[in-house]
Amino acid sequence: MRLDIGVIKGDGIGPEIVTEAMKVLDKVGEIYQHELSYSQLLLGGASIDAHGIPLTDETVAEAKKCQAVLMGSIGGDAKVSPWYQLEPSKRPEAGLLKIRKELNLFANLRPAILYEELKGACPLKEEITEGGFDMMIMRELTGGLYFGERKTVEEDGVVTAYDSLTYNENEIRRIAKRGFDIAMKRHKKVTSVDKANVLDSSRLWRKTVEEVGADYPEVTLEHMLVDNCAMQLVKDPKQFDVILTENMFGDILSDEASMVTGSIGMLASASLNETKFGLYEPSGGSAPDIAGKGIANPIATILSAAMMLRFSLDLDKEADAIEQAVAQVLKDGYRTGDIMSDGKTLVGTAQMGDLICNRIKR
Domains of the chain and CATH, by start: 1-106+273-362 (3.40.718.10), 123-260 (3.40.718.10)
pLDDT at 55: 97
Is residue 289 annotated as part of the catalytic site, yes or no?
Answer: no
Residues 227-251, mean pLDDT to the nearest whole number = 96
pLDDT at 260: 86
- Residue tagged active-site, from 9, 27, 119, 195: 195
Catalytic site residue from 32, 38, 84, 146: 146
Q: Which one of the listed residues 11, 194, 251, 338 is annotated catalytic? A: 251
Does the active-site annotation cover 251? yes
Per the annotation, the verdict on 195 as an active-site residue is: yes
Q: What percent of the chain stands above pLDDT 70?
A: 100
Q: What is the pLDDT of residues 304-343, one digit of tens each?
A: 999 999 999 999 999 999 999 999 999 999 999 988 989 9
Check 163, 200, 255, 320 and give the catalytic one. 255
- Which one of 163, 215, 227, 332 is the catalytic residue? 227
For residue range 114-171, what is the model confidence (pLDDT) as tens digits? 888 888 778 888 888 888 899 999 999 989 998 889 999 999 999 999 999 999 999 9
DSSP string, 259-318: HTTS-GGG-EEEEE-SSS-EEEEESS---TTTTTSS----HHHHHHHHHHHHHTS--HHH
Look at residues 170, 209, 218, 167 and name the one whose alpha carbon lies nearest to residue 191.
209
Verify whether residue 38 is a known catalytic residue: no
Clarify whether 241 is annotated catalytic.
no
